[in-house]
Amino acid sequence: MTIIIRKAMETDAPALSRICLLTADAGSTAEALHDYGELPGLVYAVPYVKLPTTWGYVMVDDLRDNEVVGYIVGSTDTRAFETYAAEHWWPKLAERYLPSLAKKPADERYMNLFRNMYTAPDACIDFSPAHMHINILPEYQKQGWGRKMLASAVEFLKGQSLRGVWLGLDPRNNGAKTFYERVGFTHVDGAPDNNMGIKF
């Protein structure tokens, strides 16, 4: 097996969406929670290969015909990302996904979110303009790939003159919290408990 880490491309969107769904319930699969399995990816993965200010890396497995099996994505300028998405991304989704269509609570939550998207806490923006998400398929977890993909992201962000990156964590996701602590993330001062960041 040879795993290669490369820059994410817009054509990776379907793979990112699938990986997002398979890890969206606090690190476990959210397939059973959704009739509309694309919803988590439309928030946490796909915009990052389509909208301005975004960056991303994926890991691909040559034994699976170079299938994308994990990703790290983010924005170098979270406020600009939020502004652009508020104008060009969430409204289209709000139009396409009417909450009255939802039969499952998780679908309804996302459909309402498209209508009322949250923004990052100021304390996070003060920490760094850059935020990120990382998700790896279960069979590739705990083999050092998360650490390696984070290193690729940090190199890229340093090249953009950024000195830190932060994220929002599902408080139920203890495994991810341990991962972030192991690789050097700490709580972002002044932000809600579930925001962690790393300086470099």
Ligand X SMILES: CC(C)(COP(=O)(O)OP(=O)(O)OC[C@H]1O[C@@H](n2cnc3c(N)ncnc32)[C@H](O)[C@@H]1OP(=O)(O)O)[C@@H](O)C(=O)NCCC(=O)NCCS
Instruction: Provide the binding-site residues for ligand X, judged by CB under 6 A.
Output: 23, 27, 134-136, 141-147, 167, 169, 173, 175-176, 178-179, 182-183
- Least distance in angstroms from the C-beta of 176 to ligand X: 4
Report the residue number, 21 or 93, with the smaller CB distance to ligand X.
Answer: 21
- Least distance in angstroms from the C-beta of 159 to ligand X: 22
Report the residue number, 27 or 41, with the smaller CB distance to ligand X.
Answer: 27
Give the DSSP per-residue string, 24-36: TBTTB--GGG-SS
Report the residue number, 31 or 95, with the smaller CB distance to ligand X.
Answer: 31
Q: Give the burial string for 109-145 (b: 16+ CB within 10 Å, else e).
A: ebbebbeeeeebbeebbebbbbbbbbbbbeebbeeeb
Report the residue number, 69 or 93, with the smaller CB distance to ligand X.
Answer: 69
Is there a contact between 81 and 54 (Cβ–Cβ < 8 Å)? Answer: yes
Closest among 64, 48, 38, 63 to 9, alpha carbons compared = 48
Q: Report the distance separating Cα 72 and Cα 78, nearest Å.
A: 15
- Least distance in angstroms from the C-beta of 133 to ligand X: 6
Name the closest residue to ligand X (Cβ).
146
